Amino acid sequence: MSAVTSRSEIPVPEHPIAPFLRMDRIPHIWCPTCGIGTVVKCFATALEGSALDLDKVAIVSGIGCTGRVAGYMKLDAFHTTHGRAIPFATGLKLGRPELQVTVFSGDGDLSGIGGNHFIHAARRNIDLMVVLVNNFIYAMTGGQNAPTTPLTARSSTMPYGNFEYPFNLPRLAATCGATYVARWTCLHIRRLTKSFSEALHRKGFRFIEVITPCATLYSRLNRLGTGLDLMRFYHDHAEIRHGADLRDLEIAFQDRIVCGKFLDEERPTFSEMKDAHYGKVLGDRYRPMPPEGGWIHA
Amino acid sequence: MKTDPAGVLTGVHYLDGDFACGEGAMAAGCRFVAGYPITPSTEVVERISARFPMIGGTFIQMEDELASMAAVVGASWTGTKSMTVTSGPGFSLMMENIGLAAMMETPCVVVNVQRGGPSTGLPTMVGQGDMMQARWGSHGDYELIAMSPQSPQEAFNLTIDAFNLSETYRVPVMFMMDECVGHMTEKVVIPPADEIEVVPRRLTDKKPADFLPYRLDGAIVPEFARAGDGYRFHTTGLTHDERGYPVMSVECQEWNVHHLMDKIRLNAEQIVRVEEEQVEGAEVVVIAYGITARVTRTAIDMARRDGLKVGFLRLIVVWPFPERRIRELAGRVKAFVVPEINYGQISLEVERCAAGRAATRHVPHGGGGVHDPSSIYNAIVGAVK
C-alpha cells in the first residue's frame, strides 16, 4: 500500500465539542434527524465559551429520549428516575452550593410526570438551568400523547387526534417564578447557543424550551414528512418576538411558533433568600452550608 | 473517625423518639434533609429545621415525598450526608427513588415513623405494617438494611448507626420507628462528640483518568467520587457496568444486580444485630421489635412467674434478617412467638427460617394501639403446651 492511500496518515480533526462528550459512548441512540443532538451541540458550544470550571458543572436528566443527554456529556452526570431530574438536581445544588447544575430533559418528563417539581422549583427560584426539549410527544415509549401535544395532533394514544389543551410552557415557568425564560427551535442554533451562554451566567431558575423534530413518531403519526421537512416548517413558521406577551406563546398544530427571550430578570435564589433571612434573624449564630458541601470529614 | 462537634448536643435530655432521631442524625454528621410533612414523623424535621441553621445544614421542605427522596439521593452524591423522614403514605411514594438509591449505591437514611395502614389508615396511631415494604417496596431485586429502635435513647443511638451502615455498604438504610417510640418521651443521654464514631464516605484517591465509579477491586463497595471533584463520572438507574454506563444485557444485569445482593448477603452476619435474653435453655422464644418489644417484656415476666422457660430475642437490625440465629434456635426450642402490630410480616420470615423445626405463633394486632400483654402471654402458654 502506498503512503498516499494510507488512511491512517490522513489527519482527522477532533470534533470541536468532542471534549464535552463521552466519545466512548458515541454513536448515540437518537434517530436520524432527531433534534436533540443539535441542542446538545449548542449547549456544549455555550459551555466551551463560558469560562466555567467544568469540574463544577453537573448535568441531571430524567427518563426519555432527552433523558439520555446526561449520559453523553463529559461532566458529572446523573441519569435519574422519570420526572425527578429537578428534585434530584435540587439536592445536588443544595448539597454542594458551588456547583453549576443544569437539568436536561424532555417535555413529558419535566412537564408531565415531573410537573409538580417544575412549578415548585421555579417558585422557590432554585438555582438551576432547566433545558426542556419539546418534541410534542412521548417518543421513547412510542409516541403517546404528551402535555405538550398540540390540539388535533395525532399520537399513539390519541389516534383520532388530541383533544386535551397543551401547556404553554414559557408562560407556566414565568408565572411560577422563573427568572430567565426563552424558547427556540433547534433550527435556531446561533440564538439557542446565545441563550444557553446567557443563562449559564444568570442565577436562579432559568428555563429554556427547545422545539425539536421527532421524525420517527410525531412526524410519522401526523404525516408531516421528514425531519428536514419539519426544519423547513420551523424556518417558515417561527416568529422571533423577544419579550412577547406570554399569553401569545401557545402552540397550535402546524401553526406559528413564537420564539425569543421572554424574561430575563434578577430575583434572589432559594439559597440567597435563606442566607439573607437567617443572617438577619439569627445573626452570628447562622452557619451557612459551605460552598463545597456539608461536613465531609475526609 | 470522630464526628463533627457542631451537630452534637451533648448532655442529658428529656426527648421524644422523633426529636432523638433528629439529634442522632445531626450527631452523625447529617447536613442535608429533605422532607414533606406527615404525621407522626414531622417532629423529626421540625427539630432539624430549628437546629440546622446553626450547624451548617440545609433542610428543604419539598413538594412531595417523591421529590424529597430524589433530593436526598442527589445531595448524597455531593458527599453531604443526607436523610429524609416520613410515614406510611409518604414511604409508599419514596419507593421509586429508594430503588434509585439502591441501584446507584447511594448512602442515605430514610426514617419511617410507622402508623396504622393501609392507605391513610390511622395517621396519629401506631402500626408496624411497613416492615415488608421496607424490604421489598421498590421494584426489582436489591438488598438494603432496616433497623427498629425501641426507645428514644435507641432512636438517637441507632440513627448514628444507620448513617454508618449506609456509608459502609452504600445502601439506603430504612429507619423503621413506630408512632409509639416516636412520640414517647424519655431520658436521652447524648455523649460528647469525641465519643461518637462515624464512618466517612469512602472517597477515592485515584486520579480521574484511573477512576471507574463502579469498579470493586475486591472491596465490598466501590470507591466514591463526589460531584464537583473533577471526576466527571456518570451514574444511572439503568443496569450499568463499572464505568457507570448503561449496558442492556443479561451479563451486565447479572454483574450489577448480583453485586447489589452480595454486598449485603455476604456480610449479613456483620450487619445483623439482635438482643437476646435467657434464650439458652428456653422452650419458647419471643421475637419482637420496636414498641412491641417493650410490651413483650411484661408478657415474658408474667410467663416466667408461672415457671415457663421463655427467652426473648429482640430485632435491632431487622433486614438483613438474622437467619442463621433463628435456624440454630429452631433446632432447640419448641416454638417462636412473634407479636407485631400487623397481620403477619416478620412472623413469616421467622416461619421461613424455622423451616418446620419449631412452631411459629404469630400474635397479630391491627394497629392503633399496642398489644395487651396478656395476648402475648396466652400465645406463650399455648406454645409451651
Assess whether pLDDT exceeds 60 at residue B222: yes
Task: Tell me if B152 is assigned to some domain.
Answer: yes
Contacting B residues, span 178-217, partner chain A, CB-CB under 8 Å: 198, 200-201, 203
Tally of domains in chain A: 1
Do B190 and B286 reside in the same domain of the chain? no
**Lookup result for grid cell 471526576:** B231
Report residue B267 as a C-alpha cell: 456480610
Residue range A269-278: mean pLDDT, rounded = 98
Tally of domains in chain B: 2
Task: Tell me if B223 is assigned to some domain.
Answer: no
Report residue B125 as a C-alpha cell: 396511631
pLDDT at A6: 59
Average predicted confidence (pLDDT) for chain A: 95
pLDDT at B385: 84
Assess whether pLDDT exceeds 80 at residue A2: no
B71 interface with A at CB cutoff 8 Å: yes
Bond preceding residue B118 cis, omega within 30 of 0: yes
Task: Tell me if B139 is assigned to some domain.
Answer: yes
B228 closest CB neighbour out of A25, A96, A294: A96
Residue range A105-120: mean pLDDT, rounded = 98
Task: Report the distance separating Cα A295 and Cα B198, nearest Å.
Answer: 12
Task: Tell me if B266 is assigned to some domain.
Answer: no
Task: Tell me if A15 is assigned to some domain.
Answer: no
pLDDT at A261: 98
Structural domain of B301: 275-384
What's the gap in Å between the CA of B175 and the closest CA on chain A?
A: 21
Q: What is the CATH number of the domain that holds A173?
A: 3.40.50.970
Residue range B284-312: mean pLDDT, rounded = 98
Task: Report the distance separating Cα B75 and Cα B167, nearest Å.
Answer: 14
B234 closest CB neighbour out of A54, A55, A77: A77
Beta pairing class for B234-236 and B310-315: unpaired
Cβ within 8 Å, pair A293-B228: yes
A10-14, A82-86, B71-75 — which is least confidently predicted?
A10-14
Contacting B residues, span 40-69, partner chain A, CB-CB under 8 Å: 53-58, 60, 62-64, 66-68
pLDDT at A8: 67
Share of chain A above pLDDT 70, in %: 97
- Residue at a domain's end among B162, B195, B228: B195
Assess whether pLDDT exceeds 80 at residue A5: no
Assess whether pLDDT exceeds 90 at residue A93: yes
Report residue A170 as a C-alpha cell: 414559557
Assess whether pLDDT exceeds 90 at residue A9: no
- Residue at a domain's end among B195, B217, B250: B195
Residue range B137-145: mean pLDDT, rounded = 98
Residue range A104-112: mean pLDDT, rounded = 98
Q: What is the CATH number of the domain that holds B308?
A: 3.40.50.920
Residue range A152-172: mean pLDDT, rounded = 98
Assess whether pLDDT exceeds 50 at residue B159: yes
- Residue at a domain's end among B144, B176, B195: B195
Average predicted confidence (pLDDT) for chain B: 98
Assess whether pLDDT exceeds 60 at residue A297: no
Structural domain of A185: 25-285
Q: What is the CATH number of the domain that holds B162?
A: 3.40.50.970
Task: Tell me if A80 is assigned to some domain.
Answer: yes
Assess whether pLDDT exceeds 50 at residue A152: yes
What's the gap in Å between the CA of A119 and the closest CA on chain B?
A: 9
pLDDT at B130: 98
What's the gap in Å between the CA of A23 and the closest CA on chain B?
A: 12
Report residue B335 as a C-alpha cell: 416454638
Do B189 and B318 reside in the same domain of the chain? no
Task: Tell me if B29 is assigned to some domain.
Answer: yes
Per-residue confidence band for A12, with pLDDT thresholds at 50, 70 and 90: confident
- Looking from the CA of B314 toward its CB, the CA atoms found within 13 Å total 21
Assess whether pLDDT exceeds 90 at residue A1: no
Assess whether pLDDT exceeds 90 at residue A10: no
Q: What is the pTM of this model?
A: 0.97
Task: Tell me if B208 is assigned to some domain.
Answer: no
Do B18 and B148 reside in the same domain of the chain? yes
Task: Report the distance separating Cα A246 and Cα A252, nearest Å.
Answer: 15
